[in-house]
Amino acid sequence: MNTPAPAQAPAFTVADIRKTFLDFFASKGHTVVASSSLVPGNDPTLMFVNSGMVQFKDVFLGTDKRPYVRATSVQACLRAGGKHNDLENVGYTARHHTFFEMLGNW
């Protein structure tokens, strides 16, 4: 008895994930905000952007206002130290990396 091969799901690329995420939050009234530079220009406390909220830090602190109240982004991030430091695991597991893109909605 031959069993048919299971149907294979269509490939879902990283670009598809980004687009689906941003489109979902845009449909809920969020403004899509581009990723900021990996090197923060206005935050001397950081060498690299390490989370999606860095470009909104001044807004959260109340020192800046934006022309929107809700935002969504896919932020390029680099972690090589600090509280969430997984540097010693990079290269030993498939899930520890120094560079990643953080999906966020604010």
Convert the pLDDT of each residue in 38-90 to its tens digit.
999 888 988 889 899 999 999 999 999 999 999 999 999 987 766 666 667 77
Instruction: Give 19 or 98, the one with higher predicted confidence.
Output: 19
Range of the domain at 91: 31-105
pTM of the model: 0.77
Which is nearest to 105 in space by CA: 54, 71, 61, 56? Answer: 71
**6 belongs to a structural domain:** no
* Within-domain flag for 71: yes
Number of domains making up the chain: 1
**Gyration radius of the chain's alpha carbons:** 18
Tokens coding 22 = 């941003």
Residue 10 has pLDDT above 90, yes or no: no
The model's pLDDT over 16-35, given as tens digits with 9 standing for 90+, comes to 999 999 999 999 999 999 99
Mean per-residue pLDDT for 79-105? 76
Query: 86 to each of 49, 50, 93, how far by Cα in Å?
Result: 15, 12, 10
Domain assignment present for residue 41? The answer is yes
